[in-house]
Every structure is written in C-alpha cells, then in structure tokens.
Structure 1
Amino acid sequence: METKVKELIKEENLLHQGATVLVGVSGGPDSIALLHFLSAIKEEWNIRLIALSADHGLRGNESKQDVEYVRNVCRMWNIEMVETFLDVPAYKRQEGTGTQLSARNLRYQFFAEQMERFGAEFLALGHHADDQAESVLMGLTRGSNISALQGIPIKRPFAGGDIVRPFMAVSRDEIEAYCMEHGIEPRRDPSNEEDSYTRNYFRLHVLPLLKEKNPNFLHTVRRLSDSARNDERYLNEQAEKLVDAHVAFADRNKRAEFEIESFAKFPIALQRRAFHLILNYLYNSTPPDLSYAHEDRFFSLISSSRANASIDLPLGLKMIKAYHSITFSFAAELDGSYYIVLQGPGTIELPDGSVLSASIVREPLEDSRYAITYELADINWPLAIRSRKPGDKMRVKGMKGTKKIKDIFIDEKIPIGLREGWPIVEDGKGNILWLAGLRRADSGSGGRDGKFLRLQYDKNSNI
C-alpha cells in the first residue's frame, strides 16, 4: 500500500519538501491510517504535520472520546494537534440544512480557518478508492452530466493551499490491512453501518455487488474518473475561449449576449459548457433548482425557427431570442424591458405588478380600453407580451398603413418614464395585436369557428 500512495503523491504533486500539512482526523481507519503514513514520511519530506480533529456534537460521549483518542495518538506519535467543538445541531436549526451537510459545512470552515492560521500548503484527507467509486455511482443516479464521472478530486485548491487525498490509490480493505499491520486500533462510528444515508447504502449494498462481479472495479472507476477529469479540463478550456471570443457581457456581468450563427458553429459539447460558463458568470452561486431541463430549453431556443421567444431561468434570469441573437438578462436589470411568452390562454404578472390575461370566449364581447376581442382563428400562437423596441410599428384599427408606437405614446401623452415598460402584445409572426390600454390592431376576416380570444389588461393602479 505504501508504494501505491507514494507513487500517487509524486504523480499528482500532493506534497513538496518543507510543506506544512494539516490532516483531518476523525479517529476512524481512513484518517488515522493517513496520519500514521504521513508521520512515517515526515522526516523524508521535511514536513510539519498538524492533526485537526472536531467533535460535531452528534454522538454525545462517543464524539468526545473520538477526539480524546486522536489527542492520545498525537501525543504518542509526537504530532501537533488542534481540536474543536462544532455545534452541528444548532447550525441545522439556524440554516435549515441536513445533518450531513451541516457537519460538512462547519468542518470545512474549521479546516479553512486552520489553513490560514498556519499558512499551510496542504490539507490531507483520508478519502480512498471506495469513496471515489461510491461518489461516481451516486453522481450517476442524480444526473446525466459527464462531471458526475469525475467523482472526488485528488487535489483541489482550498483556503490558499490545496486539499489532497493521497489514499485515492488504495481501497478500504488495504487501509484496514495497513492498520492491522501497524497495530493501529481505530475508532468506529456505528452510524456507518446504517443504510439510511445514501452513501452508506451504496457502500453497504451496491459497491460489494459490483466488486464481486468485477474485482478490478475500483481501478476501473479510477481510470474512468481520471479520463473524465482530463477531458473536462480540456473541453472547459476550449469553452472559455468560445465565451471570450463570442459572448459579450455588460452591466457588470449581469447581462450576456451572443450571435446565434457564430455560436452554433461550435460542437455541441462546447456549446453546452459555454452555456454553463455563462450562467456561472451571471449567477453569484448556481441556484439549486437549475436543471438539465433548462439546458435542453437553451438548445431548443437556439435551433427554434421562431424569430422571438424567451425562457425563464431561476432567480429572475431570462434567455431571450430576438431574431439572430440570444440575450441573458435579469428582470431587475432590464431597465423596464421584458419578454414573456404565452403558449396559450393564461395570465401573467408584469414587472410593474400589472396583470395581462388571455382567455377563450364563445362570443365577441365588446371592446373597452383595457379589454379587446379577436377572432381566435386569426391568432398565430404563441403570443409574446413584451416591452417596446426601437422602430416598433403597428397597423392601428381605423387607419391605413402602420403607425409608430413612439407616436402613439406621444398622441396619448404617456409619460416618458412609463413608455419603456408599457406592455405590447404580439403574435407568433411578430405582428403587434395590442398596445395594451391604448390601441388595438385591425381584425382579420375571422368568423370561422365561433371562438374568440379575449385579452384583458389590469393596470397596476400604483403606477
């Protein structure tokens, strides 16, 4: 085992001479074996070794005894140690997160503080090949993105240094054998034998079956993870070049735009990654309700033959197609502009709090300032409810030719501050049907199926 670990350390540059190395130690087999291994090579690498141990406040005296065990081991092996108490139950109540996530958040916060305190280059953790296989399997059950195959990184930046996992080259069984060989009696967490947690279920039931069918399964997963990680790194680099060259960001990275023709020339693999890079730039942190469905809609929007369309993303972000370009923008950053699609009858709330509805009726109700009726057979779906664009014109009822929307606003003496967000209803061919509350377009011939479209605008009285 020692040979495998040393080879991985050299291959992945997990240590360097004279480094300060912190080790997360729970007292279990993985972490205590890692502490022992690093202690054994301490002089060879001239490293300063410091153990970090935390009582998470979840198992009463057992948690305290785990920390005490680590303390005694460090004293016996002449290793520096920092211990702490993490009030996970209180954090759960405050943040509303689950036990495992709460414990992890507090633990990594503690790790980061100690990395900065000691100016440490590395934080070594005891994850191993079985953990990697479990993570890959769990990732595959949650989604279809290739990133799921990468599993746990062997090395990643953290708190001014790097998290390193030297045991990723060895299995749980090899670590247990290492403990026996060196007379190490680790602590055991009884909750690891319960399958109520997803990871435990995979460890106890799924992974043993796969290892039985393929004794080299752990090695296979590691090779797969390494390949996926290298491929992703290269493809992401290419996607960054795509974004740099073809995507324009504005409004302090709250708005992005690209031309569809130039973007679509790139392979789908790069377009997909560019989409996620754009979202990474626009969001401060990726919202949890962002899903693969949004990615599918993105590609549908690009390939759509419709000149104008939009898609809502989480947290008020919109993807808007306007002829040959795609724009990403937050509703609050649009300076009154918006674009909302109605695929059929329905009601929408506009950014200013006004409401516009479309319904099917059986008789041609009389028009009023805030409600109009069209022959349903004359309507080209979907409808778009949007703010005005430069050069907007409409064919006004009772007039020959078209009239500029700008001139209608002037005729109606609409204040300039209200014009940008005033709702315009247009059909699927881009024809303006209604400048809500002001003018409607000419009706078609109609009268073919006895059904009518009723549009109603309930203006927010506070504006």
Structure 2
Amino acid sequence: MIPKIKDTIARHGMIPTGSCVAVGLSGGADSVSLLHALLELRDELDITLRAVHINHGIRGESALRDERFCRELCDALGVPLHCVILDVPAIAAQRCIGLEECGRQCRYEQFSLMAQEHGCIIATAHTLSDSVETVMFNLARGSALGGVCGIPPVRKLDSGSTVVRPLIGVTREDVERYCTERGLSFVTDETNADTAYRRNLIRHEVIPTLRKVNPSVHTAVERFGRCAAEDDAYLCALAAEALQKAAIEGGWSADTLAALPSPLLRRCVVAITRARGCTPEYAQLELCADAVRNGSGAVMLTERLRFAVSRGVARLDSGSASQPEQQWEVRAIFPRTRLPDGRVLVFTEIDLGTAFATQKHQKLLFKNALSCDIIKDNISVRNRREGDRFAQAGRGVTKKLKKLLCDEGIPAEQRASLALIVNEMGILWTEGFGASELCRPSPDDHRVILPEISGKE
C-alpha cells in the first residue's frame, strides 16, 4: 500500500517538501492506516505531522470511546492531537439540513480552522472504495455530471486551505490488509454495518453485486469518474468564459446567457449562486434557466437570496423574502372564515360512520380530521410566528415549524401565507400538513371537523 500512497502523493503534488500535515483521525481503519503510513514516510517526505479528531455529538458513549482511542494512539505515536466536540444535531436543525450533510460541513469548517491556525495541509482518509460508493450514490440520486466525478484527490476549500486524500488510490481491502500486516488497532463505527443507511447499502449490497458483473468494478467506476471530472472541468471553464462575456452593469445579460447551450447555462447559474455561498437544487437550477430563457422570472434560492431576471438582466438579490413577514390573525368563524389574502377556510362537520361508508372523505380524514370538542373552543387562524412548534398527528414528534417547513422543501416565499388553526394550547392544524396531536380525534369521537382551504372568492 505504501508504494501506491507515494505514487498518489507525487502524481497529484499533494504534499510539498517541508509541509505540516494534519490527519483527520476518526479512529477507524482508514484514518489509522493513513496516520501510520505518513509516519512511515515522514522523513522521506520531510513533513511534520499533527492530527485532528472531531466528535459530532451524535453517537454518545461510542463517540467518547473513539476520542479516547485517538488520544491514546497519538500519545503512543508522539503525534500532537487536537480534539473538537460539536453538537451537530443542533447545528443541523439551525441550518435546516440533514445530519450527514451537516456533519460534513462541520468537519471541513474545523479543518479550515486547523489549517489556518497551524499552516497545515489537511489529509483525509478517503479511499478508492469511498470514491466509487460516492459515484454510485450520486448516480442513484440523479446527480448531474459534476456529481459523478468521485472524490477529488486534492480539494481547495473556500477558505484557501488544501485538503488531500493520499489513500484515494487504494481500496478498503488494501487498508484492512495493511492494518492486519502491521498489527494496527482501530475502532469500528457500529453504524457502518447498518444497511438502513443508503451509503452502507451501496457498500454492502450494491458494490458486491456489481463485482459479479465486473470483478474490476472499482477500476471501471474510477475511470468513469475521472473522465466525468475532465469533461465537467472543461464545460465549467467554457461557462466561466461565457459568464465573463455576459457581465454587464447590475448583473449579467439575460440574452447572452439564454443563447448558451443548456449545459453551459446551468453551469453559469451555479457559478453565479456559488459566489454567494449557495448551491441550488436541480429543480431550482432548472427554474433559474427557464427564467433566463423566458427573459423574466424569479426563483427564491434561500430565505434571503433570489435569482431574478427582468429588463434583460439576470442578477441575485435579497428578494421579498428578506423583508419582515406581515403577520396576520383572524377569529375563526364557522363554517367559513375569510383569510386576509382572500382565500376561504371552510369547516365541514362530518359523521365518521357516514364518511367511511361512502369513502368520500377517507383520505382527508386520516390527515386532517380535528376533534369537534376542541376545534369549536375559542380558536383563531393566523400565519406563522417565531418559535412556533407543531406536533403533526401520527408522527410522534414535535418540531419547530420553521424546521418542518425547511425539511419538507416549502418555498420560502410561500411560508408566510400558510394558514394555522390555533388556540391557547398551540397549533391545532397546519395548512398542507394537517392535524396536530393536540386536536387528533379520539376513538370515542363520532363526529369530526374537516378544515379545507378554497381559492379566493
């Protein structure tokens, strides 16, 4: 394995002579083998070594065990170790993103801080197997060309720091063999075998099945990813040239952008948005491209960032979502309550026996039915407020309404208009999400209220 690592480092110019290298150390086989390999090559490469371990605050005692292992390992090897403890679940909720993506973001943020503080190159233990699994995962998600390039051997972070992957040319089997031959101890993440996680499913079931089709599947997928990366880099370079030519006062010429082939137009939009720290979803990207082709339109990318096209200019601005939301609240009047935007909230009282006999309302009932005893007591209808929490019926969990709307992909510009039925207990019903556990009918209820919103009258 050592010759492969040396070849990878040399071929990609990963580690200049005299560098300080900080290894991202999880305690697993990959990172332990990377630390040992770089120690073995330390004099030859003329480098100094450090390590950084990140506890994500997710796995409880197991994470503390991993941290203890890393401390003991680095003490034994004489390698300075920097440990960081984070609350990734809380950060993920704040950023409205999943745990896995949030963990990845936090790791690279900490790597950047480490690199800036110590002038280090960061070395992570991604292997060829990880890269192949990433390609397959992104293919299954329907990623564009840029998403199926695999894990790059060298990556420049936005902070200017450099991340290198010296193990990117070796497989997980190579790593395990190296650890066995040298008698290296490591910890095992108990979740790695759980195929409920999609990446584990690819690792333990998809890749072994593909090996039956092609025993050299790692090599084949790596070659595909490398070619995809070269093609994507070429198209991105063309897009950068086109974007420069399209630049005008206040933004970019919509006519110039609209004349581009779709692959270049999409990359131009990505380049524009990434410059403001936003990478749009594919659906948003297509909407932005449509706005350019149509000569007008606007797409809210985040709550505070909008891609807009008007009067021949494509630009990014804060959009209407950056303005304070206009709060409203009206007293609920049965059977019809007019909302400030002109829509009407209709309350229909339903006999459960009749409804199930006719099957007319079954689908809506399961999600929306409210207890008659609660719904008629001093209720009102309003839009959202800061700090609102909602316990959706049947989910068994209470969430911040803001996080629920983020998780479900409700466009930012629509959130302020969603109607909520409330009383002193809290939110009883949320438009688009249905009833709360607070107002869910009991088994003894024979009649329920079904709220529905009709169009403007």
Q: Give the TM-score, by structure 2 length.
A: 0.63
Relative to structure 1, the CA distance from residue 249 to residue 37 in structure 2 (aligned partners, 3 Å threshold; closer, same or farther) is farther
Are the aligned partners of 1:139 and 1:151 in contact in 2 as well (CA < 8 Å)? no
Relative to structure 1, the CA distance from residue 219 to residue 212 in structure 2 (aligned partners, 3 Å threshold; closer, same or farther) is same
Relative to structure 1, the CA distance from residue 272 to residue 286 in structure 2 (aligned partners, 3 Å threshold; closer, same or farther) is closer
Relative to structure 1, the CA distance from residue 87 to residue 142 in structure 2 (aligned partners, 3 Å threshold; closer, same or farther) is same
Q: CA RMSD in A?
A: 3.1
In the alignment, does 2:269 pair up with 1:275? yes
**1:286 aligned partner:** 279
Relative to structure 1, the CA distance from residue 224 to residue 68 in structure 2 (aligned partners, 3 Å threshold; closer, same or farther) is same
Deviations 1:145-172 (A, max 9, x none): 1111112221111344310011111111
**2:52 aligned partner:** 52
**2:62 aligned partner:** 62
**2:99 aligned partner:** 99
**2:375 aligned partner:** none
Deviation at 1:239, TM superposition (A): 1.3
Relative to structure 1, the CA distance from residue 329 to residue 17 in structure 2 (aligned partners, 3 Å threshold; closer, same or farther) is closer
**Pairwise mapping of residues 255-266 of structure 1 onto structure 2 (< 5 A)?**
256-258=251-253, 260=255, 262-263=256-257, 266=260
Provide the C-alpha distance between the structure 2 equivalents of 1:106 and 1:279, rounded to a whole number of angstroms: 21
Which has the higher Rg, Structure 1 or Structure 2? 1
**Pairwise mapping of residues 59-458 of structure 1 onto structure 2 (< 5 A)?**
59-92=59-92, 94-95=94-95, 97-120=97-120, 122-158=121-157, 159-250=159-250, 256-258=251-253, 260=255, 262-263=256-257, 266-281=260-275, 283-288=276-281, 290-294=283-287, 297-298=290-291, 301=294, 310=297, 312-315=299-302, 317=306, 319-320=308-309, 325=312, 327-328=314-315, 330=317, 332=319
Determine helix, strand or coil for the equivalent of 1:243: helix
Relative to structure 1, the CA distance from residue 249 to residue 126 in structure 2 (aligned partners, 3 Å threshold; closer, same or farther) is farther
Letter of the structure 2 residue corresponding to residue 153 of structure 1: P
Provide the C-alpha distance between the structure 1 equivalents of 2:252 and 2:267, rounded to a whole number of angstroms: 16
Deviation at 1:12, TM superposition (A): 0.7
Provide the C-alpha distance between the structure 1 equivalents of 2:15 and 2:71, rounded to a whole number of angstroms: 24
How many pairs are equivalent?
323
**2:391 aligned partner:** none
Deviation at 1:194, TM superposition (A): 0.7
Relative to structure 1, the CA distance from residue 231 to residue 183 in structure 2 (aligned partners, 3 Å threshold; closer, same or farther) is same
**Pairwise mapping of residues 28-47 of structure 1 onto structure 2 (< 5 A)?**
28-47=28-47
Report sequence identity in percent: 28
Are the aligned partners of 1:290 and 1:313 in contact in 2 as well (CA < 8 Å)? no
Are the aligned partners of 1:8 and 1:169 in contact in 2 as well (CA < 8 Å)? yes
Runs ≥4 residues deviating over 6 A: 354-357
Q: Which runs of 5+ in 1 are unaligned?
A: 251-255, 303-308, 334-353, 358-457, 459-463
Determine helix, strand or coil for the equivalent of 1:210: helix
Provide the C-alpha distance between the structure 1 equivalents of 2:73 and 2:91, rounded to a whole number of angstroms: 29
Letter of the structure 1 residue corresponding to residue 278 of structure 2: S
Letter of the structure 2 residue corresponding to residue 301 of structure 1: N
Determine helix, strand or coil for the equivalent of 2:208: helix
